[in-house]
Amino acid sequence: MGEIAFMKILTLRRLGDPILRAKAKKLAKSQILSTKTQNLIDNLRYTCDKKNYGVGISAPQVGESLAISVIAIKPTPARPDLVLFDDVLINAEIVKTFGQPVKKWEGCCSVGGPAFENLIYGLVPRYKKMRIKYLDRNAQPQTKIVDGFVAHVVQHEIDHLNGVLFTDLADPKSLMMGDEYQRWVINKKHE
Ligand SMILES: [Zn+2]
């Protein structure tokens, strides 16, 4: 779609900005196909790629109260076992969940940071598997079963569209700074 020359890193809105608490607007098909929205999608993806540990980003995080999420999962130092998953979810909804939620570690580039050691991490109950429906960037309806880490990230991003941040749901005593998370969780996992 967009060319690299037009891509830019968008400024992240951070904890305390009211746009992170607003309900994002759904998009009509014509709006999805507009140059403005297509450019926003490209810039969201570019911004997510440039954040070293970013695996997903939603439009409210860059100041647009629109129901657009980019999921760009790739292996990271913290999660070397991840497999690639790259998709744009518009007007995404969870249709069905399977099983009971389990607590998983997560963070958010709108909560703490921008340096890794200043990001906040916490344990959040998330479903392991679910069916979602959404429109893709060509405004085509999609339904998909997602599970594991992808399901986890999609729940975090859909929460962003509803003004919910992971710290609302996290076990408060689990919260950690990035460097402590590295020390007590990531490094322990690899021992
Ligand atoms: Zn987030």
Non-local (6+) Cβ contacts of 168 within 8 A are: none
Separation of CA 49 and ligand 1 centre (Å):
14
Separation of CA 109 and ligand 1 centre (Å):
6
Say what the pTM is.
0.92
Name the pLDDT band for 51 (thresholds 50, 70, 90): confident
Point out the residues that are catalytic: 157
Domains of the chain (ranges, CATH numbers): 4-189 (3.90.45.10)
**pLDDT at position 78, please?**
66
Separation of CA 165 and ligand 1 centre (Å):
7
Model confidence over 93-142: pLDDT tens digits?
Answer: 999 999 999 999 999 999 998 888 999 999 999 999 999 999 999 999 99
Mean pLDDT, the chain, whole residue set = 92
Strand stretches in 7-116, DSSP E: 56-58, 68-73, 85-98, 102-112
Separation of CA 160 and ligand 1 centre (Å):
7
Q: Does the pLDDT of residue 3 top 60, yes or no?
A: no
